[in-house]
Structure 1
Amino acid sequence: MRPQQSVNPDLNFNRQAIRQNYLADEYEVIHSLIADAQLSQAEREAISARAADLVRSVRKNARPTIMEKFLAEYGLTTKEGVALMCLAEALLRVPDNLTIHDLIEDKITSGNWGAHVGKAQSGMINTATMALLMTSNLLKDSERQSVGETLRKLVKRMGEPVVRTVAGQAMKEMGRQFVLGRDIEEAQDRGEAQVQRGYTYSYDMLGEAARTDADAVRYFNAYSNAIDSIAKNCQGDVRTNPGISVKLSALHARYEYGNRDRVMKELAPRALELAKKAARANMGFNIDAEEQDRLDLSLDVIEAVLSDPELAGWNGFGIVVQAFGKRSAQTLNWLYALSEKLDRRIMVRLVKGAYWDAEIKRAQVMGLSDFPVFTRKACSDVSYLACAKQLLGMTDRIYPQFATHNAHSVSAVLELAKDLDRSAFEFQRLHGMGESLHDQVIADSGVPCRIYAPVGAHSDLLAYLVRRLLENGANSSFVNQIVDTRITPEEIAKDPIDAVNALGENISSKAIVRPEKLFGDQRRNSKGWDITDPVTIAEVEQGRGQYREFRWKGGPVMAVDSSSDNMVEVRNPANPDDLVGEITFASEADVSAALDAASEGFKSWSSVPAEERAAIIRRVGDLYEENAHELFALTTREAGKSLLDAVAEIREAVDFAMFYANEGVRYQNDGEARGVICCISPWNFPLAIFTGQILANLAAGNAVVAKPAEQTSLLAVRAAELMLEAGIPRAAMQLLPGTGATVGSALTSDPRVAGVCFTGSTATAQRINKVMTDNMDPDAPLVAETGGLNAMIVDSTALPEQVVRDVLASSFQSAGQRCSALRMLYVQKDIADHLLEMLYGAMEELGIGDPWLLSTDVGPVIDENARKKIVDHCNKFEAKGQLLKKLDVPQNGLFVSPAVLKVNGIEDMEEEIFGPVLHVATFEAKDIDKVVDAVNAKGYGLTFGVHSRVDRRIARITSRIKVGNTYVNRNQIGAIVGSQPFGGEGLSGTGPKAGGPHYVRRFMKGETISKPAQSSGKVLSADRVQKLIGKLDSLTAPQPQERQQILKPFFGDVPAPLDAGYEEMPGPTGEQNHLSDHARGVILCLGPDAESAMEQAATALSQGNKVVVIAPDVEKQAEGAVKAGLPIVAANGVLDPDALATLTGFEAVVSVAERSLLKQYREALAQRDGALLPIITEHKLDQRFVIERHLCVDTTAAGGNASLIAASE
């Protein structure tokens, strides 16, 4: 897909300049703008002096609005301000009383309202503060009972939920400050007074971007009706008429670069129809600016609309340009050239820009080379200044509209325009903001001012309201500063060019982490490819295009020659006619030969210093990036992945290389390598998981024999070739493509193998465990990451648009073929109908087909077996009348209809269905705990999601759910290495987490001892031990902070508790990533002698576990700890190994017995159904006694990143 070239060739230069500046260097851009602006020192001093006078005058005559006073008291630097912002964002959409009570309690009781009593400059705000304090105290007093009970008593006594009414009215009053009217007629009536004072209006129809076509049609009709209504007040000069502002994202559900063809065919005609209507009324019609990744596409739409001959002679077409973007000057040049070419006069509204925090986060998440926006407020102010001067030199074609509440910006415009006619430009302000400033400007200068006025129902106001609170609640905001008399007029009016020059070359904000530095100095972030950027896409298309019809050949990659000739064709799952290549599968003889070579390879590789191994492993990541275009093509054609998924795949593989290289160095003195490890990887992450397994083991010093999934072996071969190119010796890393029956079985049952690393189904992991037990050393690790029945809970405070976005990604991206994918959605009954209707509409907008195309969202499933299983499952539910939604799919290729099925709950699901199928159930708000219990009861524990604005509810749910990775107010796929370590518990895996701090260590051997089995002592039956386990039910572990002290009298020094807190993991702004360790549960400490059994108990107890200690003569040694009430029970004797097959209620076995007894223990454990339980032989290694859980919270879900904006410089 080539970048769209303008139909007007002389515009191309300016368009290319826009594209080249997307991620330009901040220092270079700003100093280029300063040079182009050519402002003399005298001009700059005059501007600042005029601005200071303006501030003084405004303060003298100020009548701050309620909103401005509110922001002065409750800014974003106060906890109370953030709480009120969250309350405002959610309260008005919650339909049920129980959740409203919980939400108000959550936000109001958390605040220190007493600190604000009597402080504000408004009696109304002081009264409101007192009401909040009283409400808060009332709720806090009642915590001795339950808060809900107190609220219920209040309702009973007063006849209605008073708190709800007061809070609801307060939110609506806040809304009235910002929203002119609930509909266009009311807005025009309310605005009449300002019109009489000389203001004009531009009306904006409130609402989020369209998620469905029904949304888009509704917004189109709202705009169309508004134009009809506004037209009645239009006469004469377009500059003095009211106007309307239109968001392109409201007119189409897929307004994004990958869907450019649809946008030009479907959105552009809608925009043109509205523009023609506005032209007939001779009113202003502004296209609003949106996210930076949509700028290029917006220019295509603007050019297509403005080129229509029917718009000739109309001067009201307008475009919004955001000065905080690094391409603003080039965009103005392009707009000027376009208006010249088409012989039009247009309007340009210059704004600072919105959603700055989201632009910062996106660049970090995507691993871009820089930010598309400036990182400092001063730089945005300089850009605004330079763009203002640029616009004032273009007034023959452009009518500039300067939208600002900043006295310096206003003064700069007036100074630069002092020789221009006052009617050649205008100022603009937001309704409810900057009133005093602009009243003063109109009075002093005679320059007209237009008010940008949002119109819409209270339910549509939330996102807009929170955005205003965020942008104007920051300390650095002019609106905030002008009310704060502690800041001098000169400070407020200081020249931003001076501020920028004072920074020297170190211009980027230190408060903002650059994308490549997201993980600090330890390792670089993987390179990202922005597939919304035309320049990037042109490079990718040219690069991967060379492999569009290429045919790869591959086979075993061994240190010796392969003896196999079993060649298999590989075909594209999206198109059976596309022959991707040929793969030769390994034979059993190859397996044996490879293992012999690996044993020798292990000796030499394990002796290479850890730092040298790390350098080679990092080189693998570099080579992946250098060969990315080929890997993109192969990932798409062999594995059926979209370009979006292919980019994520390569980035994850590179992140694994960089992370595990460091981990190998970190653990170099903590143990020794184990030997030859067998790595068995899946087809759904054919490069990332394949690479992660292998490189973690190589970092630990092991040799690897890898068996990739047979469906994606060509990709594995290409990756293996790059590993060898990086310098990994052939004997240290060998690849054996082939079937599970031939290669997998031979590898997992060979005594030369020292451990297995596996990702796949739970059933296969259990089979591997059994054959390992029969053939390998009893402490050979099996690190298995298996499936999940992953759920998400959505309560009535959640924002439906966000939920739908996250459910689509979690359920249907990658055709649902992710271990982490959402399978079971629980929606609170009160909002289910509305939410599901929006979900179905959004599903209709999904592109299903060839994953090579940028417009494809859902590609094929991997093979015919997978397709048939998914289709059979859906047919079964459809036959029972439980199919809620199904999409049409292409007939050619292995496509499955994305579907939504109705169930009662997770208990209706027998197994994981690995495809684009979502099961939905509803719940009552009061039953939310029961939902968590039901999810836990299934025994899986991989990923889990929750959408809610009630922090206490989130805390309760996340503390009770037993899963490895929990996600709050975001999707639940795409874990980032080293930021969100990934892996489950229970039926979902053994741990430790991939990309986490314990993973590499698991493939090493630490300090172990081996003691002979004890022949003395009676053999304890399973019944006896089961009773001992039962006794632990009533005992609790000491709290982490006091545990070492409590254990010391009985066990001496014990390890520090890993579960004492959480580790803050690195990650992008606007996201919390917490990794925590948790006790496994009940652990059987089996000695074999009393001394070792007590050492095992000490480590287990130190990590918060409960223990059963069994060894000859151990009761006496454990007596003190038992009497002290610690969670320990002891019995003299030895355990019958067979008892381990039937005992319940324990999570692990610890023993340092000789191999023959360990083998019996492992054999008994392998007979169990359910979760794979470990035998721990490193009995002093604390990390073996815990499980890891990760919590990821999107802290921007309530509307924006308060902390980042508050810290913005």
Structure 2
Amino acid sequence: MPIDPLSLEPLIHQIGTAMTQESAGAAPALFDRQRWSHRLLDWAMSDPEFKVQLFRFVDVLPVLRHDEQVARLLDEYFSDQERLGRLLQWGMKAMAGSTLGAKLVARSLRKQVEQMAGLFIAGETVAQAASILTRLWNDGRASSVDLLGEATVSEVEADRYRDRCLSALRELAETAAGWPASPLLERDQMGPIPRVQLSIKISALYSQLDAIDPEGSYRAVADRLRPLLDLAQSIPAGIIFDMEQAELKDLTLSIFTRLLSEPAYRTFPHAGLAIQAYHRETARDVERLIGWTQQRGAPITIRLVKGAYWDSDSIRYRQRGWPVPLFVHKAETDVAYESLSRVLLDHHQVIRPAFGTHNLRTLAHAEACASRLNLPAHAWEYQMIYGMAEPLQAAVVQRGRRLRLYAPVGELLPGMAYLVRRLLENTSNESFLRKEYVESQPLDQLLAKPEPSGSLASEQPETQAEPADFRNEPHSDFSLASVRASMAEAIQSVRGRLGQSVSVPFAANRPPSGLPLVVRNPSRPDEILGTVSTVLPADLPAVMEGAKQRIGPWKDRPAAERVEIMRRAAALMKQRRYELAAWEVLEEGKPWREADADVAEAIDFLLFYARRMEQLGAPRRLGGEPGEANHLSYTARGIAAVIAPWNFPLAIPTGMVSAALVTGNVVLFKPSERAPIVGCLLGQILAEAGLPAGVLQVLPGGPDLGRALVQHPDSGIIAFTGSKNAGLWILGQAAQVGKGQRHVKRVIAEMGGKNAIIVDETADLDEAVSGVVASFTGYQGQKCSACSRVIVHEAVHDLFVQRLTDAVQAVTIGPPEDPGSRMGPMIDERALKTVREYVEIGRREGRVIVDRIMSGPGYFQGPVIVAEIRPGHRLAQEEIFGPVLAVMRASDFVQALDLANETDYALTGGVYSRSPKNLQLARERFDVGNLYINRPITGALVGRQPFGGHRLSGVGAKAGGDDYLLQFMTARVVSENTLRRGFAPLE
């Protein structure tokens, strides 16, 4: 029946007051003023900078094996002596002045943090936790065990997690069998409730779990879940799906409902899942779950929580430019939670409501709603986290309500991340526990009705950028079904046009004289995608004559008009986004995300360079002295020859071509013979955007055409991306001045890299393994920025290599039309042959520990890992352009940096470390153009990470940076004496 929210308020205050009295005089263990943890949290809550450093130190502490390391990292994180002194206030400050004293301090600190972790972790194993779980049961508290563990980066680890869950269920059943009867904990309005409950994370059951591939994810997760559900039905035991990151929400719901709809599990009444109130779509999700449950005919449990991933999800979504799917303000979440509470209680006939909260107001609200509905006390339960809000736990039990504690079980190492989340939760400004037990807020405030500031459905987080500012085009969110459908439809649409001739207008008043180039699908070489007319060097004189005629009109056109054409082209790319990405999937073998990202980057280049040209288009006054006027202006150089690669077939050409065009140059664009269709599509889009005929000439052809463009005396600019050898040849040719040539050619060349990632002994290996795999297998390693060397500290070398080996065995390889394929084919047979040659070199130089050689049609090659590589080996020095990773060992971080720098290249590099000192050393000494810290080393974004290297990695300004356009223009300064006959114009 409907409940008037206003009528609930007096009852909420009455219940809240009573519960406060029942828990009076006690404080949660974490806030016990006699404990070291209270002092530590008190400092954290009063000093935000200290809080960040403290939690980062606590996060790295478990991997520090020796007291000396702990002391060193303690000093690195808290080198400020005042702050370090605060850490040592419990009585050992005097000892910190000596090496021995530092070790004793470190040992004591580790012990204190481990004790703090013990407040939240019930035991390292189920056997160790058995006594605590038994004590909880005897105190009238049920439990839901959560097995902590490393992030799953391989199928070996996914199997291990499944087996741990199976073992835990058996051990818990054996332990629970000896517990005394407890009617409140063992029965509700629907019947018996199992004594045993296990909470699971689906992300731990499949290393390749990804919302882009719901079908493949379901198959893999369901295969590991079925044995758990079979055992849970026989014990019996409850199985609860934890809800994780926002991107996995819909996938989690789909897996849950689909699996529980299978005949074997359709009647299982003890399955459930957590639902997050902070998600904007949760009300809709709950409505659908209730309808599905009614159709299914068996109840489910819904654990309603406010949500534990708000900070990380919000940051990730903002980073990606996606609408944040979570409520912005805590009051909005609180209102949503209370509304959902009423819905769940209203449907207690089919739903087992479980309210996960440590908030007095939230508890009192649920109690009040249940009272208004005249529900029996066993019709719902409360859930809290083991080690948190113990006084509130006691009050719930005293009221005769069922209470279940979420009890983590696992080793300290993985448990530390859990501890950090709990510390963040407890020290948050919005934390109820902080408000009650630290700030001692009045009861009326604690029980006040949440008042949101705006519409729950429509309010979005504020953004700092103005509408006119450049914003990166967001990559597609493939967790959305509509986006996946758009991409699949585009691939099918493009498939319907295969075999056609693709071309752009040729300005030489006759057809190009080259033979048609037959374009094939690298996944299926027998499949012809289309044909493209090609240009020969013999066609170049006529092309150049046409280009020279267009220099003046295009250069003299107002910069604002050129800018507008670039913006129209960007708008057209947005409209045709999935069509363009589909062509890249088929022509270049790019997986969905790689293809989509390439289109987004192309849009970025158009808009970023357009905006930059607006800034450079008008003359700029220099100086402010009276009597003179100095103005700096820029003008186009003339004809730009753009020689583009195939691996980023739209983004890189768009960047080079648009930079040349928007600055007023006429462009002769030779797309790679491995990517001619996408190159022609770029020409078509610019023409449709209003680019005058002949200002851009798309010239498909072979290497001989590229050489002719470089050597032609009328080429004023040569913009090139490709191999080192080709780039050096271009630089040599450009230095030669031909007959009648009156300019020095400007060369902008990106020439590749031999990029390294360093993993030190403090690294988060979950992140490091995933980051290295992404960096060397992304687009099959066919990126100049790809990782080809990983340099690992000897202390973690063997463990890292083992986990890396297992991880790459799990990477899915197949035709990129399949969204589940993480790796597609090499671009052609020549590229595949090159990789195979380097594998054989690796067998001679080191030890090949992984070689996922593929068979069948297509140019497929899986990841290759070669260990025991030394600095002088070819695998340590030569660019391979394929998924071949050389593993090198370092004794310390300085040696690792020396190894990383010991190549001819300086393009990208990465470091995985949690040592502030090492990270600072990397910033100072890692000699690369783009350094990435604790993240993959590919995927630079225009404007945010301008891209380019030095040494033999290239010459010129960074692409996607403020200086890039200047290379395509010449600068002129006009200085005028404005003082005439003693008079000067007013400034």
Go from structure 1 to structure 2 and tell me whether the alpha carbon gap of 1:558 and 1:361 turns closer, same or farther (over 3 Å shift): farther
CA RMSD of aligned residues (A): 2.6
How far off is 1:879 after superposition? 4.0
How far off is 1:981 after superposition? 0.4
Q: TM-score, normalised by structure 1?
A: 0.74
Whole-angstrom distance in 1 between the partners of 2:777 and 2:594 = 12
Correspondence 1:232-247 to 2 at 5 A: 232=174, 233=176, 237=187, 238-239=192-193, 241-247=195-201
Is 1:536 aligned to 2:483, yes or no?
yes
Q: Which residue is equivalent to 2:326?
A: 373
SS of corresponding position for 1:387: helix
Whole-angstrom distance in 2 between the partners of 1:654 and 1:131 = 60
C-alpha contact (below 8 Å) 1:789/1:911 kept by paired residues: yes
Is 1:970 aligned to 2:923, yes or no?
no
Correspondence 1:1074-1089 to 2 at 5 A: none
Residue 956 of structure 2, aligned match among 975, 991, 994: 991
Is 1:320 aligned to 2:292, yes or no?
no
C-alpha contact (below 8 Å) 2:386/2:406 kept by paired residues: yes
- What amino acid is aligned across from residue 416 of structure 1 in structure 2? C
- What amino acid is aligned across from residue 559 of structure 1 in structure 2? A
Whole-angstrom distance in 2 between the partners of 1:896 and 1:311 = 40
- What amino acid is aligned across from residue 703 of structure 1 in structure 2? V
Residue 769 of structure 2, aligned match among 801, 804, 809: 804
Q: Which residue is equivalent to 1:564?
A: 512
Q: Which residue is equivalent to 2:684?
A: 721
- What amino acid is aligned across from residue 423 of structure 2 in structure 1? L
How far off is 1:842 after superposition? 0.9
Residue 475 of structure 1, aligned match among 404, 418, 429: 429
Is 1:164 aligned to 2:106, yes or no?
yes
Whole-angstrom distance in 2 between the partners of 1:848 and 1:252 = 16
- What amino acid is aligned across from residue 919 of structure 1 in structure 2? A
Whole-angstrom distance in 2 between the partners of 1:440 and 1:216 = 39
Q: Which residue is equivalent to 1:1018?
A: none
SS of corresponding position for 2:872: helix
Q: Which residue is equivalent to 1:955?
A: 920
Correspondence 1:1029-1068 to 2 at 5 A: none
Is 1:330 aligned to 2:284, yes or no?
yes
C-alpha contact (below 8 Å) 1:786/1:989 kept by paired residues: yes
Deviation per residue, 1:642-688 (Å, 9 max, x gap): 11101100000001111000011111124222111111111111100
Correspondence 1:564-963 to 2 at 5 A: 564-565=512-513, 566-668=515-617, 669=619, 670-741=633-704, 743-775=705-737, 777=742, 779-880=744-845, 882-908=847-873, 909-925=876-892, 928-963=893-928
How far off is 1:803 after superposition? 0.7
Q: Give ranges in structure 2 of 5+ residues lacking alignment.
A: 32-36, 620-632, 975-987
Correspondence 1:1094-1173 to 2 at 5 A: none
Whole-angstrom distance in 2 between the partners of 1:801 and 1:276 = 30
Whole-angstrom distance in 2 between the partners of 1:56 and 1:80 = 35
Deviation per residue, 1:941-983 (Å, 9 max, x gap): 1001000001121001221111110000000000000000000
C-alpha contact (below 8 Å) 2:634/2:971 kept by paired residues: yes
Is 1:130 aligned to 2:90, yes or no?
yes
Correspondence 1:261-410 to 2 at 5 A: 261-311=215-265, 314-368=268-322, 370-410=323-363
C-alpha contact (below 8 Å) 1:628/1:650 kept by paired residues: yes
Deviation per residue, 1:344-391 (Å, 9 max, x gap): 1221111111222232233234433x2222222222212111111110
How far off is 1:739 after superposition? 1.2
Q: Which residue is equivalent to 1:226?
A: 168
Correspondence 1:70-149 to 2 at 5 A: 70-75=40-45, 78-95=48-65, 99-110=69-80, 112-113=82-83, 129-130=89-90, 138=97
How far off is 1:181 after superposition? 0.8
Q: Which residue is equivalent to 2:628?
A: none
C-alpha contact (below 8 Å) 1:69/1:483 kept by paired residues: no
Q: Give ranges in structure 1 of 5+ residues lacking alignment.
A: 1-35, 118-127, 139-149, 156-160, 1010-1209
SS of corresponding position for 1:677: strand
Whole-angstrom distance in 2 between the partners of 1:52 and 1:714 = 72
How far off is 1:806 after superposition? 0.4
Deviation per residue, 1:1042-1093 (Å, 9 max, x gap): xxxxxxxxxxxxxxxxxxxxxxxxxxxxxxxxxxxxxxxxxxxxxxxxxxxx
- What amino acid is aligned across from residue 201 of structure 2 in structure 1? K
C-alpha contact (below 8 Å) 1:113/1:133 kept by paired residues: no
Go from structure 1 to structure 2 and tell me whether the alpha carbon gap of 1:658 and 1:317 turns closer, same or farther (over 3 Å shift): same
How far off is 1:530 after superposition? 1.6
C-alpha contact (below 8 Å) 1:527/1:625 kept by paired residues: no
Q: Which residue is equivalent to 1:29?
A: none
SS of corresponding position for 2:583: helix
Q: Which residue is equivalent to 1:204?
A: 146
How many equivalent pairs are there? 935
C-alpha contact (below 8 Å) 2:930/2:947 kept by paired residues: yes
SS of corresponding position for 1:74: helix
How far off is 1:63 after superposition? 4.7
Deviation per residue, 1:483-521 (Å, 9 max, x gap): 23353333333322x2335x89984343x66xxx5x864
- What amino acid is aligned across from residue 768 of structure 1 in structure 2? I
Correspondence 1:999-1018 to 2 at 5 A: 999-1007=964-972
Q: Which residue is equivalent to 1:47?
A: 12
Whole-angstrom distance in 2 between the partners of 1:293 and 1:312 = 27
C-alpha contact (below 8 Å) 1:284/1:316 kept by paired residues: yes
C-alpha contact (below 8 Å) 2:85/2:93 kept by paired residues: no
- What amino acid is aligned across from residue 109 of structure 2 in structure 1? A
- What amino acid is aligned across from residue 330 of structure 2 in structure 1? K
Whole-angstrom distance in 2 between the partners of 1:242 and 1:970 = 39
Q: Which residue is equivalent to 1:431?
A: 386
Go from structure 1 to structure 2 and tell me whether the alpha carbon gap of 1:225 and 1:903 turns closer, same or farther (over 3 Å shift): closer
Q: Which residue is equivalent to 1:1091?
A: none
Whole-angstrom distance in 2 between the partners of 1:154 and 1:113 = 17
> Which stretch of structure 1 is more off in the superposition, 717-726 or 527-536?
527-536
Whole-angstrom distance in 2 between the partners of 1:989 and 1:37 = 70
Go from structure 1 to structure 2 and tell me whether the alpha carbon gap of 1:866 and 1:951 turns closer, same or farther (over 3 Å shift): same
SS of corresponding position for 2:806: helix
Whole-angstrom distance in 2 between the partners of 1:580 and 1:630 = 14
Go from structure 1 to structure 2 and tell me whether the alpha carbon gap of 1:129 and 1:426 turns closer, same or farther (over 3 Å shift): farther
Q: Which residue is equivalent to 2:460?
A: 508
Whole-angstrom distance in 2 between the partners of 1:374 and 1:356 = 9
Deviation per residue, 1:1007-1048 (Å, 9 max, x gap): 379xxxxxxxxxxxxxxxxxxxxxxxxxxxxxxxxxxxxxxx
How far off is 1:790 after superposition? 0.5
Deviation per residue, 1:74-129 (Å, 9 max, x gap): 23852222222112211112335664443222123247437858xxxxxxxxxx64
Q: Which residue is equivalent to 1:1202?
A: none
C-alpha contact (below 8 Å) 2:735/2:744 kept by paired residues: no
Whole-angstrom distance in 1 between the partners of 2:730 and 2:271 = 68
- What amino acid is aligned across from residue 485 of structure 2 in structure 1? A
Is 1:554 aligned to 2:517, yes or no?
no
Go from structure 1 to structure 2 and tell me whether the alpha carbon gap of 1:544 and 1:486 turns closer, same or farther (over 3 Å shift): same
C-alpha contact (below 8 Å) 1:848/1:890 kept by paired residues: no
C-alpha contact (below 8 Å) 1:562/1:586 kept by paired residues: no
SS of corresponding position for 1:385: helix
